[in-house]
Amino acid sequence: MKNQTRPFLPSLIIILSFTGIACSTVPYTGRSRMNIMGKDTENQMGFQAYQEVLGAEKIVQSGSSAEMVKRVASRIAAAADRDAQQRGEPLGFDWQVSLIESSQVNAWCLPGGKMGVYSGILSVAKSEAGLAVVMAHEVGHAVARHGGERMTQQLGAQIALGLADLGLSKTDQTTHDTVMAALGTGSQVAVLLPFSRAHESEADHIGILLMAEAGYDPREAPKLWERMVQLGGDQPPALLSTHPSHETRIQQLNGWVPEAMKVYNPNSTASATVNKAQPGLAPPAVPKVQGQPQNVQPKPKK
């Protein structure tokens, strides 16, 4: 049975050695984080994932909802860009947003500033400020580079598991399976899950500040998440799956409202460029017509 403890030592060493690499602090909250991913790598992954989504989903190209989504995105992006400039750490994001026609109650912002909003969320958002709560939360994840941090964690867990596998290769299969299961579960629950919740809280915190700076009333934030939970029932929306408990969340958001009110600028008109035309990424300007080829090229602007 002593064999079972041996693999934990190299695993621990590997995990600890990660702490010496790429340690930095998260903007807004000052939390220390570990991220071995390069910004460019993260952004490239975000770009690729975004292109895949664009290819697979039906994108709402025009109309008041698409306009609203774009407006909220550009105002929040402007706030995030301005803060980053002031910190002397420009984000270097190429902001993109798409409204995806889907009943899903979901939204995301990939590394590098690629946003997706599912039309199913609009009825829960109820207003532009409600939508801003969700989108600012998602932008919060991207600004804090939670994607890279999570990949770093998963990489660490995988290396640890790989080493454990090596150390156990001479023990019998049952012991091997048991320990691997324990270690796998252990790293999932002990490392990944609480971190994930910490990320959600952090995105809430950054989000409420960003929306306020962008000119949206931060007092809408607790209200939006209240509505989201009420909607949930037995099957909460995907957006809530890894979030802190409802009570904790509302309590935290209410606690951050005074801080957000200090940066709330109801007259803000700043907006960043989103959906800058890019080769291969520009959505077709002509609505899709059934029976027609799908890859209609946009007409050049005169």
Q: Which residues are catalytic?
A: 138
CB of 137 to Zn ion, least distance (A): 6
List Cα–Cα distances, 283 to 24, 31, 96, 258, in angstroms.
36, 38, 11, 40
**Nearest-approach distance from CB 243 to Zn ion, in angstroms:** 7
Q: What is the smallest separation between the CB atom of 68 and Zn ion, expressed in angstroms?
A: 21
**Minimum CB–partner distance for residue 73 and Zn ion (Å):** 16
Site residues (CB under 5 A) for Zn ion?
200, 203
Name the residue nearer to Zn ion (CB basis): 157 or 203: 203
The residue length of the chain stands at: 302
Contacts of 270 (CB under 8 A, 6+ apart): 75, 78, 79, 82, 214
Instruction: In angstroms, give the least distance from the CB of 229 to Zn ion.
Output: 14
Using the minimum distance from each CB to Zn ion, give the nearer residue, 18 or 118. Answer: 118
Tokens 């340690």: give the residue: 23
Asked if 224 contacts 137 with a C-beta cutoff of 8 angstroms, the reply is: no
- Quick one: tokens of 204? 């809430």
- Select 135 or 179, whichever has its Cβ closest to Zn ion: 135
C-beta contacts of 154-158 below 8 A and 24+ residues apart: 154/192, 155/36, 156/14, 156/15, 156/18, 156/191, 157/187, 157/188, 157/191, 157/192
Smaller CB separation from Zn ion, 116 or 167? 116
Query: Are 274 and 114 within 8 A, CB to CB?
Result: no
- Our CB check for Zn ion shows the closer of 140 and 167 to be 140
